[in-house]
Amino acid sequence: MTHRGRRLALAFIALVVLGLVLNNIAGRTRSGQGQAGGEATAPAARPLAPLYVPRPASLISGGYGGSLSSGATPQEVARAFAGSYVKYAPDRTSPGSFVDRLPRLAPGARTRVRGQLARDWRDHLSKLSGATATGAVSDPKKGAGQDGSTEVTVDFVKGKGSSNLLHVTLGLEQGDAGWVVTSVSLEEG
């Protein structure tokens, strides 16, 4: 390569580097002027449709509480809680995680309910085969709302074609988020 060829190559490389440096400086000045000058920049493009996050069918159909508003009646809270409680199966979930997913269980009652869950399973829940709610939910006992506590019973048919009932009696108290379950007792009848 001749001396003239080397000079042309160096000049070409110098022009390319100078072009990159000037492009970088120009890009920074434009973004700095947009922020300092108060020019409105175009907002980021929003997605055309909202994002869909799939939920388990048990949440949609009211399985573990569905959607209970703070204005839910004691009967609605009792129906949601009892419907979830009778579905306990120790081979599918641990008592701790099951109790944590129960709807509207008062924080102070979690330890007590977790402790009685094994006994309720042995005495009543293990004998349920295809239990269904009868739709019978008792009215709150008299004086509900005056002292902030009440008791509601939800009835379940023990099995398909059976006439035996399982009564799930729940103690409820009025809390900040509405009615919460404070006690659970099961009785066959």
Q: What is the pLDDT of residues 53-72, one digit of tens each?
A: 555 544 444 444 456 777 88
Residue with tokens 């129960």: 102
Contact 164, 158 (CB under 8 A): yes
Full-model pTM:
0.60
- Rg of the chain over Cα atoms, rounded to whole angstroms, equals 33
Q: Which of 167, 156, 170 is nearest to 104 (CA)?
A: 170
Tokens of 81: 């809680």
The amino acid at residue 89 is: A
**Rounded CA gap, 85 and 82, in Å?**
5
Window from 60-74, 75-89, 93-107, 117-131 with minimum mean pLDDT: 60-74
